[in-house]
Chains A and B, each alone.
Chain A
């Protein structure tokens, strides 16, 4: 530990010496745009839809009343027999589903999670310009592993209140002290001759439901 303390002091001293004569560097100017999209909720929603789909997420739109049947259908279509249920997920969302519901109150071990076919969650917000959903482990989202290990992730976005146009608009709405996961389409790799392959280690399929009232 004592050498480490020595290194701390040494590194800080080296930094101070290195920049002692450097010109002052002011705070950065933020002349860049707050958004690249017209301030129109319908257009922003369409852009989100388009950009999510562009990165191979499968996008649906539904009303609150249609949601349970849609979720049940999506699970059935993929043959999902079990579904992980994060704390705080509205019970109605899974009310019509046949899949065996696995709550995370054990919590589920990595091996147990690996045996679960799907997970259904809400989100913290979604960003239209980049086609991104952000999870912050809040109610209905669960811990990070829940949306990672099962092979199918169904994510519900409340519109318009959970949708922002741009990254700069997202930042002030997120709490950096929470674990955050930004998801833009299913996992993918281009490491083999730059051919894009989806579903490497994360869920192979990402279905996003844009919930409209």
Chain B
């Protein structure tokens, strides 16, 4: 290493040192510690007690754990696609040459920036089975609205409704940027070949924005595993565990029952599932994601 290189190394390291210390203290160490805690019984007040794989075996026979996993999968299979499709649909609409676009964009996006607590309280009131607006609107068209948050069959759909309202705007913005980025020449070429608008969407637009769809999907899945605040505030897992999501059960084990080891095991399972989900999406993406680079 030359003197210059060494000097640069020192300077570079000095500049990144705040992040590097933070990485060691708040990322690297916690990951290692989390693995260790997941193999212990630990209630914070007494020293961690080594139990080996016991926590993981307990989880396997923990009914609520499986319920929380099932609830989360339900949201991943229905809630995530609903939000993503709504975002995509809105982006397509807003990509039309229509007056007042920025007004609509603001309107759809606004719910995403409100504090989750405010949104949760608002929807608690909207979904009130007796006096809530949602059921009032349903009554207008002659439908007797369900009990929503107090009915185990309707509690999860209620959260899907909430996430479409509160989350589709955020993905819409990202889709919209991607739509604006599709080279106009591709549409012109397709038109010359006699493509209908539907064909243009299917053969040009969707492939071109597929990296963004893939990105939003991965983020959606990862986010759903950590879904916490709205469920914590609105139902706290009820009724009958129907909204006990993975993130909520993890929180409950750690901070309410003080089963830090048990919760750490859950966190590690989450870590592995996240890695796998990312990997699967990445691997399969070769089949359905086009990157601009590959076209050239």
Partners in one complex: no
Chain B residues engaging chain A, CB cutoff 8 angstroms: none
Chain A residues engaging chain B, CB cutoff 8 angstroms: none
